[in-house]
Each structure stands twice: as structure tokens, then as C-alpha cells.
Amino acid sequence: MDEYNQINLTIDWHQLIKDYQQKFSHNRVREKNKSYQLFPQATPQTPQTIRLRDYQQEAVINWFKNKGRGTLKMATGSGKTITALAIATELYDKIKLQVLLIICPYRHLVVQWQKECIKFNLNPILAFESVYNWQSELSTELYNIQSNQQPFLTIITTNSTLINQGFQAQIRFFPEKTLIVGDEAHHLGSPRLESSLPRNIGLRLALSATPERYFDEEGTDALLDYFGQVIKPEFTLADAIKKQALVPYLYYPIFVKLTESEAFNYAKLTQRIGWALGKMRILKIMIT
């Protein structure tokens, strides 16, 4: 029995959904201001000033209905980060989630996530750049989690650190009750990154406005196979503006034609990429 099926046996998803719906049955207020209440210990707590919008609550419930897997396809700025942290908080409250692992494609997103995590009373380890900056702390806190000396651990890392041997060596120490969140998850559909995603973590959530990888159906399938299919509601830019999650604005796409030399190089590179993908598919068939 794998870790996902094992942890599913310990979670009453139906009761979790019922409790969550009751908790927010009268909540229709959005985030009010920038004053945040901090709670003792670095365990997930929803600030009193933050209330999820209707579509965010629906996304949380549908992720629960999908038994802890799924991809949120929501427009940039519509509150994917807050939704993910709300899920982590609810899992901590109901099943004592032990670890939250967040993977970002870029360093500046690590910093953005850190700021949001602090609002939820979390003190994340920022695992990126030199392994000497974070590996010792991560090892210690994973040990503390395993020995019940610490209730909760948050790690924010980058795609490039994820595939690093130093981080991969730590993955087997992550406990059963770990939630992995892939931010801008379409980046994780590349073969090297997808193969580096931890299989021993069963609770999985992907966030992306565009989870479908451009001209890479195989990568998209691999991504959705790992995290779970897109769950409702899908939330477009038009939806976000209509719901006043984003301010109205005019969107003018500007199309630029390639020069003759650029078009030649583009065709040449496309052909080389096609050959490489073809070789990878053949190799994969031979292995399987």
C-alpha cells in the first residue's frame, strides 16, 4: 500500500468537508486590512482579518472531495496562495498535518510566499541557493517532527533546489502527513522536474493560471497525473474582475513578427527539440 492510500484510510474526508462548510457558512467577507494576529508556535492559523471568497471556499471543498489531490486553475492575483494556506490550516486542524512543502520556480516567489506564510503564523525554512544555508536546519527540524518535538514545519524551495541532490536526500524523511504545493506548477511538467517530485508525499496541490504546458501534452499529462486533475472552479481573468478580486483593466496583446534570421533559428531549434523529445519517448518505451 502506498503512502497516498495509507493516509486516505486515516482521513474522514466527508466529515472534513462538512466541518469546513459549517465553519464558513456565514463568511462572505474579504481580506480587510494589513493587521495580522500572530498565534503561539509556528503552526498554521488563519488570521482573523482574512476571510476566503466564495470561489476560494469552493476550491477548498472540491480539493477535499478529490481526497487531497488536485490542480487549481485560477488567474494570477485571484488568491491561489491564500487558498493553499487555508487548505494547509484546515488539514492541520483536522488531521494534524505535520509538514507543508512549497515549490516555486523563482526566488522572488519564495519571498512572496514567505510573507504570506508569516500572516498564517508560519516561520518557513527558505531552502534555496547554497545547501549550506538550509540543509542543517532542515535536517534538524525534520528530526524534530519525526520525534514529536515540533508540531509543524514549513519549507519553501525552488525548482532548481528540488532537483539538487542535497534536497533529494531529505525527501525520504518527510512524514506521511505532508502537503506538497506546486506554485506555477506548469513549470514542474518538464521531465527532470517531474521525475524529482516526491512520490512518498500523498497530499498534493498544484497552482497555476495555465497548467497546460505549451506544445507539451506529455508533460501536461505527467503534471496532472502527479498532482491531480483541474478541479472546479476554474477562475479566469474575466471571473476575477467580475468578482472584484482584480481591478478592471484593458488587455491589449501586441503581436510581433520574427525577423528572417529569428524565424530560421526558431525553426532550427524547434527541429532539435523535436528530435530530443522523440529520443526521450523511445527511451521511455524501452525502459517500460
Write the secondary structure of 92-129 as one string of H (helix), E (strand) and C (coil): HHHHCCCEEEEEECCHHHHHHHHHHHHHCCCCCEEECC
Percent of the chain residues past pLDDT 70, beyond the cut:
88
Q: What is the rounded distance in angstroms from the CA atom of residue 249 to the CA atom of residue 78?
A: 14
127 and 258 in a single domain? The answer is no
What integer best gives the mean pLDDT of the chain? Answer: 88
182 and 273 in a single domain? The answer is no
161 and 189 in a single domain? The answer is yes
86 and 173 in a single domain? The answer is yes
Higher-pLDDT residue of 14 and 173 is: 173
226 and 266 in a single domain? The answer is no
- The end-to-end CA distance of the chain, in Å, is 21
Number of domains in the chain: 2
261 and 233 in a single domain? The answer is no
214 pLDDT more than 60: yes
CATH number of the domain within which 177 lies = 3.40.50.300
Each residue of 270-283: pLDDT tens digit? 888 888 877 776 66
Residues with Cβ within 8 Å of 171's Cβ and at least 6 positions away in sequence, in order, are: 198, 200, 201
Each residue of 225-272: pLDDT tens digit? 999 999 999 988 888 888 888 888 887 889 999 999 999 999 999 888
Question: Domain span at residue 287?
Answer: 253-288
39 pLDDT more than 50: no
pLDDT band per the 50, 70, 90 thresholds, residue 30: very low
287 and 222 in a single domain? The answer is no
244 and 261 in a single domain? The answer is no
Burial of residue 284 (CB within 10 Å: 0-12, 13-18, 19+) is exposed
| Residue-level pLDDT at 95 | 96
| Residue-level pLDDT at 3 | 61
pLDDT band per the 50, 70, 90 thresholds, residue 122: very high
| Residue-level pLDDT at 132 | 92
Q: What is the rounded distance in angstroms from the CA atom of residue 113 to the CA atom of residue 144?
A: 23
| Residue-level pLDDT at 6 | 65
156 and 274 in a single domain? The answer is no
Alpha-carbon distances, residue 112 vs 81, 126, 216 (angstroms): 9, 11, 28
83 and 8 in a single domain? The answer is yes
Q: Are 72 and 59 in contact (CB under 8 A)?
A: yes
Q: Is the dihedral of CA 153, 159, 163, 165 positive or negative?
A: negative
pLDDT band per the 50, 70, 90 thresholds, residue 77: confident
| Residue-level pLDDT at 28 | 34
285 pLDDT more than 70: no
191 and 261 in a single domain? The answer is no
Count of helices and strands (H, E) across the chain: 12, 7
Percent of the chain residues past pLDDT 90, beyond the cut:
67
| Residue-level pLDDT at 249 | 81
| Residue-level pLDDT at 288 | 58
The owner of cell 519549507 is: 155
| Residue-level pLDDT at 26 | 46
224 pLDDT more than 90: yes
135 and 276 in a single domain? The answer is no
pLDDT band per the 50, 70, 90 thresholds, residue 2: low
| Residue-level pLDDT at 204 | 98
Higher-pLDDT residue of 150 and 77 is: 150
